[in-house]
Each structure stands twice: as C-alpha cells, then as structure tokens.
Amino acid sequence: MIKYLKEYRFYITLFLFLLIPVVALDTSSRAPRDYRFYDRVILAVTAPIQTLISWTLEQGVDLTQGYLYLWNVKQQNARLFEENRKLLGQIANLNEAQNENTRLRSILNFQEKMKLETIVARVIAKDVSTEFRAVRLNRGELAGIKKGMAVITYEGVVGRVLRVTDHTADVVTILDLLSAVDTVIERSRSRGVVEGLTDELCQLKFTLRTDDIQVGDTLLSSGLGGVFPRGVAVGSVSRVKKKQFGITQEVEVKPAVDFTKLEEVMIVLDQKAEVLEKPLPVKSEPKVEPKKKGAAA
C-alpha cells in the first residue's frame, strides 16, 4: 500500500489539488459564507493593517489639501490686511472639520427623518478583486453589527452585511454581482429586483414589458425580505430598452449612492423599523412576483 502511495504520490497530490477547489466551489448558492476560525486569524492580522493604511492615507490627503489650500491663501493674503490673513488661516483649519460636520449632520438628519436605529462606520478597504464589489467596515460584532443587516447612507442603499468579525464587517454592495434588492418604482409602483451590473450601474430585473418605467424614475426599497427598510432610495432609472416582443424589458439603474466617494455608512440595527413618514400605498394586485435570489432582499 505504502509502495503504491509513494509510486503514485504525484498523481494523488494532483488529484487532491484539483478536488479541493471543486469541493469548495459553491457559486450556485448565494448564501453568505461565514468566517471560520482561520478566517478570523487572518483578519486579526490584516484588518489592523487595513485600518492603519486607510487612516494614514486619509491624514495624508487632509494634510496635502490643507497645505495646498494654505499655500493659495498665502498668495491671496499678500494683498490683504493682517487680520483677514488670520481669519483665512482659521477658515483653512476649520474647513475639513466643517466638511466632516456637514457629512455627519446629513447622516444625523437622515437618522432623525427615517427614525432608524443605526450606527455609523467607516469604510477601510475594498474587495481585493475588481470583479466583486464588497467593502470592509471598521466596526463589527462588538458594535452590534450582525450578518444580513442593511447598510445605507443618507443618499440611499449601500448593501447588506455579508459577514462579521469582532472589529470588522464585510458589506456586499448593490453593485456586486451577487447582490439583489427588491424595489418599487416611486411613481408607478412597479416592482422589480435590482442586481449589480457594472462598477457604476445596476439592472432592474423581473419587470414586465407592460410596466410603466421611464428614465429618471426613482427606485425605493420595498422592504420585502426584511433586510432593507422600506422606502430608502436605491437609485434612478438611467436607461430603458423595450423590445417589440418578449415578456420583460431591460432597465439600467444608476445607484443613489456615489460608491466612488463612499467613506461613512450607517448600519441599520433595527430591521423592523418603518422608514417612510408617508407609508407606501398597498396595491391590491401585485404586477410581478419577482424571483427571489438567495438571502438577499
């Protein structure tokens, strides 16, 4: 037996190298993969580095912008009084704080308006592959974040929590190929499922050809599935392509959130919260029964 094992060692190893990925391959299921023990060990090493690099970059950008601004101010101040120069200097120092305050105030206003129980987290890393569009946040289980929670900004829906560790959370954004959000069009009340398409666009699927959808229509989360609160903006229709024949129509959606400038997000802790101050009217006959995709809402 040992003789054969030694003789065919190469082929056995090759077989195992081929077998392990095939066994692990699970693309048919959209259920999020939980972190295992070894994943947590890996993240314990890499997450602090990601946080440190993100923080350093942020400080570097702030410093550079502050320096450039001050340099311009210095040029202008040559023609101004000493008092004005001091004031401009103060403005330069306060500028970044003001920007941050504006962003945080927007978040606070949104929280108050929506009556949601949320916590704010910062994006520290993106997916290592450009093919997938997940982001990592700097807060995790210890902050109360759980798998499947909705992630939003004051602009709209960002995605849902895929998996968490004590100090980090991975969020699969609505741009991701594996994302699906049940939505309703604000104007016509047509329903559909928004799925990721490219780095900038999503697609609205399972809409009937007869559904009234126009470019510029706003899409809101329907609340079905229990992940996303009802009435949060998902995006707006950017292109509609109706064929002469067929059951459905092709609809492209521009996300409400600008993912290129995503810095802070809110994680919705209370998933049962009603978002809209004006509840959505309930339709007597639903037009489409969208095919659900896995665990996504």
Partner 1 sequence: MRSIFLRFFNGPLFVLLVAVALAVQSSLFNSYPLWYFQPDFVLIAVIWCALRRTFTEGGILTLVFALLVETHSGAPRGLFLSIYMSIFLGIRVFSRFFVISQFASLLLVTLGAAIAWKILVLAFLAAFDLAGAQSYHFLITVLPFAGIEGLTGYWAYKALDAFDRSTTKSERSRQLIEDELLVEEGI
Positions in the binding site for partner 1 (CB under 8 A): 10, 13-14, 17-18, 20-30, 33, 35, 38-39, 42-43, 45-47, 49-51, 53-54, 57, 123-134, 136, 162, 170, 172, 176-178, 195-199, 201, 203, 259-261
Name which of 9 and 243 has its Cβ closer to partner 1. 9
Name which of 240 and 273 has its Cβ closer to partner 1. 240
Name which of 244 and 260 has its Cβ closer to partner 1. 260
Name which of 131 and 285 has its Cβ closer to partner 1. 131
Q: How far apart are CA 213 and CA 198, in angstroms?
A: 21
Q: How far is the CB of 97 from partner 1 (least distance, A)?
A: 21
Q: How far is the CB of 16 from partner 1 (least distance, A)?
A: 8
Q: How far is the CB of 194 from partner 1 (least distance, A)?
A: 13
Q: How far apart are CA 19 and CA 40, in angstroms?
A: 25
Name which of 168 and 222 has its Cβ closer to partner 1. 168
Name which of 58 and 212 has its Cβ closer to partner 1. 58
Q: Compute CA distances 168 → 44, 133, 149, 285, whole Å.
A: 10, 16, 14, 42
Q: How far is the CB of 45 from partner 1 (least distance, A)?
A: 5
Q: Output the 3-class SS for the chain.
A: CHHHHHHCHHHHHHHHHHHHHHHHCCCCCCCCCCCCHHHHHHHHHHHHHHHHHHHHHHHHHHHHHHHHHHHHHHHHHCCCCHHHHHHHHHHHHHHHHHHHHHHHHHHHHHHHHHCCCEEEEEEEEECCCCCCCEEEECCCHHHCCCCCCEEECCCCEEEEEEEECCCCEEEEECCCCCCEEEEEECCCCCEEEEEECCCCCEEEECCECCCCCCCCCEEEECCCCCCCCCCCEEEEEEEEECCCCCCECEEEEEECCCHHHCCEEEEECCCCCCCCCCCCCCCCCCCCCCCCCCCCC
Name which of 250 and 274 has its Cβ closer to partner 1. 250
Q: How far is the CB of 156 from partner 1 (least distance, A)?
A: 18
Q: How far apart are CA 256 and CA 233, in angstroms?
A: 6
Q: How far is the CB of 20 from partner 1 (least distance, A)?
A: 6
Name which of 19 and 87 has its Cβ closer to partner 1. 19
